[in-house]
Structure 1
Amino acid sequence: MNAHRHAAEDAATEPRLLGPSEIRDLAQLLDVTPTKKLGQNFVHDANTVRRIVQTAGVQAGETVLEIGPGLGSLTLGLLESGASVIAVEIDKRLAAQLPHTAAIMQPGTVLTVVTDDAMRVTELPGAPERLVANLPYNVSVPVLLHLLEHFDSLQSGIVMVQAEVGYRLAAEPGSKVYGAPSVKAAWYGDWRTAGQVSRMVFWPVPNVDSVLVGFERADAPGTEAERVATFALVDAAFQQRRKMLRQSLGTALGGGSAQATTVLETAGVDPQARGEQLTVADFLRIARAV
């Protein structure tokens, strides 16, 4: 009898995560229908949540930033690890419910909810060292770049994104999927893919595949003004990615093909190269040569 009572007590006090039935109950309670506009797909598999937290290397006592916590699946996994969590949620209903869910499922943990758009946040109530998030697929790259630009405290992270976007973020120069996001992400550090995620762990089931992408921040290669100039050149080069740089950068460098050729040669970059062949350091050299 005692053994049964202890087992019941352990089950009552053991931290819990959300499963499929809890996710649906919460959504019904809040009258939330996941929308494609907000890119909402809620994770309902505890093993996947724990795998993300483990892959991210989350340590007890750290402060972790989560974007778009939704119903709280990943939030609870982060709290279970002993980390403090700052969660930024744009949906007021979800933001209001999250502390209640955490209090029931992960009592005694430290959660701060910021009700705001992640694309507009420039201050947080703390200095998170790590970013761990299931990012809304329609805005994942702009959100990532915004956070890295504004929060120097973020030193590493794991984000779940649409597979196509994830492979692009981690791509090397010369790869077919290398693009403007690849170059801009590289300004902030080193990126890698860290495993695929099954569509079946989401509700609703998305019609795209997902991957985990990890980053480790490195020192910025240049100043903030140089970053802005470099990113403008990156945008110009990849807007016409099939053209040689002397053509695609003609307008951006302010004097057509001839001026672009001069600047590119000064920077030690082949004017006949294409944007997809250049590293972030190459683009920075062009910006400095202007």
Structure 2
Amino acid sequence: MPANDGGRPAVAGTAPLLGAADIRRLAAELDVRPTKTLGQNFVIDGNTIRRIVAAAHIDPQETVLEVGPGLGSLTLGLLDAAKHVVAVEIDPKLAAKLPDTAARLRPDAASRLDVVLADAMRVTELPQQPSALVANLPYNVAVPVVLHLLEHFPSLEHGLVMVQDEVADRLAAKPGSKIYGVPSVKAAWYSQMRKAGVIGMNVFWPAPKIASGLVQFTRHEPPETRATRKEVFAVIDAAFAQRRKTLRAALAGWAGSPAAAEDALRAANVDPSARGEVLDIHAFARIAEFKQPLMA
């Protein structure tokens, strides 16, 4: 395979990727059966991998973080596009096999892959600082994983994650939408998120019962506020704990009383009779600020 100026293999549509037979063979060799506990659904379609990599807009000089590489379907595509890939895998068998798969199918790129055996929800250090996140995330932990990584790795400038389609809609939802909620607002603290496509069920093994959605994000600066991220997130959690309540009622426990909640809301120029689903991240940050004197 020809090399480009960056010293890595050039992207080629004909580069070998893992198909259904390859995935099943690798799983049989390792005596691995995909589990719901770990949210394991392996991509078995090369065209889907190429679509994900293309939609991620990876710069040839980037280090990409992949979470849950599994048997390596997406990893190979990322090695074709990026300078370096850091793959975080929680399953010891899969983590041990991945370097071998890369060496066999991408012999010139295997040295550009780091495999980290860890829980992505707990990892806070990596061998290299990634600038992009591209991952097929387990459905059951997708939102907390994304928020954890954005918090602990400020080097992440952009990314593309594949999640349950309903979760993708929630992450990308805007204020005023019925599906706008905690994931939407907390994600907006770190980045701008948008829906980038839908992936069908038949490109996975085992096939999930629902479609997957692609979410693309670009990091931006958090709101300018005297409140900390933790304090702002506490307001968000309280506001959506009981969606049907007005903010005056929903934030009563957080503020200490309904009257204190109303004072904080009015000071933040927010209607106390409004509900959390109409506020953007900047409004939540303003509310968190005006509780600071009460906490002193």
TM-score clears 0.5? yes
Alignment pair present for 1:140 and 2:142:
yes
* 1:170 pairs with one of 164, 169, 172: 172
Secondary structure at the counterpart of residue 88 of structure 2? strand
Inter-partner Cα distance in structure 1 for 2:283 and 2:81:
41
Alignment pair present for 1:59 and 2:59:
yes
Secondary structure at the counterpart of residue 175 of structure 1? coil
Inter-partner Cα distance in structure 1 for 2:108 and 2:16:
13
Inter-partner Cα distance in structure 2 for 1:210 and 1:20:
18
Structure 1: which 5+ runs fail to align?
1-13
Aligned residue in 1 for 2:20: 20
Tell me if structure 1 keeps the 8 A contact 2:64–2:82.
no
Structure 2: which 5+ runs fail to align?
1-13, 292-296
| 1:234-276 Cα shifts (integer Å, max 9, x gaps) | 011111110000000000112x111111111011000000010
Tell me if structure 2 keeps the 8 A contact 1:180–1:238.
yes
| 1:23-67 Cα shifts (integer Å, max 9, x gaps) | 000000111110111111000000000110000001222100000
Tell me if structure 2 keeps the 8 A contact 1:58–1:83.
no
In the TM superposition, 1:168-247 aligns within 5 A as 168-222=170-224, 226-247=228-249
In the TM superposition, 1:100-115 aligns within 5 A as 100-109=100-109, 110-115=112-117
Aligned residue in 1 for 2:289: 288
| 1:79-134 Cα shifts (integer Å, max 9, x gaps) | 12243100000000000000000000111111000000000000111111100000
Aligned pair in 2 of structure 1 residues 106, 69: CA closer, same or farther (>3 Å)?
Answer: same
Tell me if structure 1 keeps the 8 A contact 2:225–2:285.
no
Secondary structure at the counterpart of residue 253 of structure 2? coil
Secondary structure at the counterpart of residue 15 of structure 2? coil
Secondary structure at the counterpart of residue 213 of structure 1? strand
Tell me if structure 2 keeps the 8 A contact 1:133–1:158.
yes
Please report the TM-score for the alignment, with normalisation by the length of structure 1.
Answer: 0.93
Inter-partner Cα distance in structure 2 for 1:225 and 1:22:
51
Q: Give the CA deviation at 1:223.
A: 6.4
Aligned residue in 1 for 2:255: 253
Alignment pair present for 1:119 and 2:114:
no
Please report the TM-score for the alignment, with normalisation by the length of structure 2.
Answer: 0.91
Aligned residue in 2 for 1:71: 71
Equivalent pairs, count: 276
Secondary structure at the counterpart of residue 200 of structure 1? coil
RMSD across aligned C-alpha pairs, in angstroms? 1.1
| 1:177-201 Cα shifts (integer Å, max 9, x gaps) | 1000000000001110001101110
Tell me if structure 2 keeps the 8 A contact 1:243–1:274.
yes
